[in-house]
Chain A
Amino acid sequence: ATPPSPAPAEPRSSSDERNQSRINPSRESMDASAAAAGGGDGTQRTLNPYVTGNSVIAMKYKDGVIMACDTGASYGSTLRYKSVERIKEVGKHSLIGGSGEFSDFQEILRYLDELTLNDHMWDDGNSLGPKEIHAYLTRVMYNRRNKFDPLWNSLVLGGVKKGPKGDEKYLGMVNMIGTHFEENHIATGFGNHMAIPILRGEWREDMTFEEAVKLIEKCLLVLLYRDRSSINKFQIAKITTEGSTIYPPYALKTNWGFAAFENPSKGAVGTW
């Protein structure tokens, strides 16, 4: 007999893997579901994410690719970690941003470490570019999904590398079921619903770094207001032919001074 697994509280949405099991995982239910995951032969597979990161937003700009996310990681409905770096450099030419289960993201970083180390040991003057790393990650994610043991992440891969047509910017994403594509602007999780409409309307091919930062901050602010698991501590990273820079975390200014917020019952005193 399988112990009852925690029922998802919200309808499923494939773009937001957190929603698939939004419940406060208690000690007992975690052990129970871990045992349930075993099935008959005692092997374990991922059924629910536990410590999850938020949306990642990224876009191409004139000199390269810019990526941003907040630095929070939630444990169910608790904000457990507030200083988590979810954007990392990969090799010389790429940045990876991960949302979803944080332990799986750390595991992916170890796979990428191994990959880039092996590549470095070839010592052939060539190094893996963002396109290759994206293809590698796609294979990893899709194969894990086929074994019903997914890495519960949505990954954003961005970078710049010299190619036959000069400096080629690349930006793509892979998610936990292996869906992958390349675009000029990417957002994961809740960003799909709230940041993509803004990016589709206002992204342009030749934005400068300052303009790109302003646009990304616009999206981050909207997510801060409207995504319950977002926190006011963001990190921006950029990658160009010169190299990558991950800036230290900072906060955005919020505005709460609307007249209707100050006195909502002005029209009818005593209403609720």
Chain B
Amino acid sequence: TRASASSVRPCAAANISPREGFLGMAGSMELPTKGGFSFDLCRRNAMLEKNGLKMPGFRKTGTTIVGLVFADGVVLGADTRATEGPIVADKNCEKIHFMAPNIYCCGAGTAADTEAVTDMVSSQLQLHRYATSRESRVVTALTLLKTHLFNYQGHVSAALVLGGVDVTGPHLHTVYPHGSTDTLPFATMGSGSLAAMSVFESKYREGLTREEGIALVAEAIRAGIFNDLGSGSNVDVCVITKGNTEYLRNHELPNPRTFVSSKGYSFNKGHTEVLSTKITQLKLKPEVADGDAMEE
């Protein structure tokens, strides 16, 4: 359960639930059930922990995610390693999530949180598109994300790089788990963000071309992959321009498996020396002297 995050709060806080969000203000007759965290099991969890129970950890993505604004739009990048403590849980996961046809979001932090929150806002954006008959705007996604994360006071551990192109132009934002946002020309998040930021700070300039933007993003992700232990495997890139989005899954594979035999493994007859052979029948077939054989 997620209640281990709430072991920090005493059980006296059991009645707190997050404020009514975006959908709750629709003004419907019956209020929807109050969602969010229920702190009912706080006392039980505290008792269990005191008696020595070790709660399972969250799967964190331990990541490098980046984004930059170039001449015609936005390029997002991410590595593909998901870690569970010191172990690589997924060698090739997808960290660039779909929000709208013209908006994508990279996620760092707890994998479940980034997945759930981007999925949720993506659905809300689709409903909004149906209601307004317009292309979604990046600031809409931004506002939905930040109000949700702020309502959960940082317990939803999602650090996001949100980028897209809408009628007002290209936009790039970062969203932090507590709900603060920044609008930036280039951004990095995750454990490998310092390595990637060093590449951006030394090489970014305004008005890059598409090829330069993709190359710079790939270089920043590679810096994270090779210099940060929480990031690794491959480079995913997503290029968003006006009217066109290209999701380049596994754009670079800088960590191939080496020393793999192209022929595969073969075990030919005669590879192993046969010293002796003895064949024992498992089921003895009885010899019928007279009459018909028994049904098997």
* Interface of chain A, main secondary structure: helix
Instruction: Name the residue on A nearest B171 (C-beta).
Output: A267
Chain B residues near A249: list those with CB within 8 A: none
Which residue of B143, B195, B201 is within 8 Å of A225 (Cβ)?
B201
- A268 engages B185 (CB within 8 Å): no
Size of the B side of the interface (Cβ < 8 Å), in residues, is 25
> With an 8 A cutoff between CB atoms, is A221 at the interface?
yes
A259, B184: Cα distance in complex, Å? 9
Q: Contact at A193–B195, with CB atoms within 8 Å?
A: yes
With A267-B168, A267-B169 known to touch, is A195 a contact of B198 (CB < 8 Å)?
A: yes
- Cα–Cα distance between A264 and B172 once the two chains are bound (Å): 10
The tally of residues in A whose CB lies under 8 Å from a CB in B reads 24
Contact with B along A228-272 (1 / 0, CB 8 A): 000000000000000000000000000000111100111110010
From 171 to 213 in chain A, residues with beta carbon under 8 angstroms from any chain B beta carbon are: 193-198, 200-201
For chain B, residues 164 to 223, give those with C-beta under 8 angstroms from any C-beta of chain A. 168-169, 171-172, 182-185, 194-195, 197-199, 201-202, 206, 219, 223
- Chain B, 5-34, CB within 8 A of any chain A CB: none
Number of A-B contacts (CB under 8 A): 65
B183→A265 contact, CB < 8 A: yes
For chain B, what secondary structure do more than half of its interface residues adopt (helix, strand, loop), or is it mixed? helix
Interface status of B98 (Cβ within 8 A of chain A): no
Check A92 for interface membership: any CB of B closer than 8 A.
no
Write the chain A residue with the least CB distance to B69: A260
Q: Which residues of A contact B139 (CB under 8 A)?
A: 267-268, 271
B227 within 8 A of A: yes
Q: Is A222 an interface residue (CB 8 A)?
A: yes
- Known contacts A196-B227, A197-B227, A259-B185; 13 further A-B pairs (Cβ under 8 A): A193-B198, A194-B198, A198-B199, A198-B223, A219-B198, A222-B201, A222-B202, A226-B197, A258-B185, A265-B183, A267-B138, A267-B139, A267-B183
> Can you identify 10 A-B contacts, CB atoms within 8 angstroms?
A197-B199, A197-B223, A198-B198, A198-B202, A222-B197, A222-B198, A267-B138, A267-B168, A267-B183, A271-B139
Binding site for B on A (CB under 8 A): 193-198, 200-201, 218-219, 221-222, 225-226, 258-261, 264-268, 271
Which 9 pairs, one residue from A and one from B, show the smallest C-beta to C-beta distance?
A264-B183, A193-B194, A197-B195, A268-B139, A258-B185, A197-B223, A194-B198, A260-B185, A197-B227
